[in-house]
Amino acid sequence: MEKFRLTLKQTSPRRVLVADDDPVMRHLITTIIKQQEYEVVVANDGREAYCILQSDSQFTAAILDMTMPFLEGLDLIRYMRTEKRLMRIPIMMITAATDIKLMASSFSAGATAFLPKPFTPEQLQSAIRMLLGTRKSNIRAAQIC
């Protein structure tokens, strides 16, 4: 029974944090996530995302733009990976930068996935599905252990 309660607690938040200062990207990403029947919490820049994360850790996943005002996506990842309550949240980094080093930096910082712009609708859908499935996989793996 205790294990069942634990499972419910772990799988209940169907919420995704989306942080991007570009309204077009926010709308696009939000639309796809809502189609997967997840609630979306939106941050218009890195500082807003940081403020949200300080008081709220109930996210299935986070999708962060790399270049945002006030606080960059990479800084947010580093913050999330050092906070115990946030460190298991899968993170996808999105960027229009073409420098391959940024992808390596994202993964080094703790990103789960990386999606360069521009992307097709299919690529975005697949990436989001993969990201949202990551948490379930982690939980299943944790339960098996």
Partner 1 sequence: MSFERAITTEANVLAFAPVVQTTSDAVDLELLNAFEELQADDGSDLIVELIDLYLADAPQRIIAIREALAASEWVTLKRAAHNLKGSSGNLGVRLVAEICEKLEHLVGPEPMAGAGDLVQLLQSQFDRARETLAAQRRLRCE
Q: Is residue 27 involved in binding partner 1 (CB under 8 A)? A: yes
Site residues for partner 1, window 62-121 (CB under 8 A)? 65, 67, 95-98, 117-121
Q: In this chain, which of 7, 14, 21, 81 binds partner 1, going by CB under 8 A?
A: 21
Residue 49 beta carbon to partner 1: minimum distance, rounded to whole angstroms: 16
Distances (CA, A) of 24 to 34, 42, 142: 15, 13, 37
Residue 14 beta carbon to partner 1: minimum distance, rounded to whole angstroms: 18
| Cα dihedral 121→123→129→131 (10° resolution) | -130
Peptide bond into 69 cis (omega under 30): no
Widest Cα–Cα separation across the chain: 50
- Which residues sit at the interface with partner 1, rule CB under 8 A? 21-25, 27-28, 31-32, 35, 65, 67, 95-98, 117-122, 125
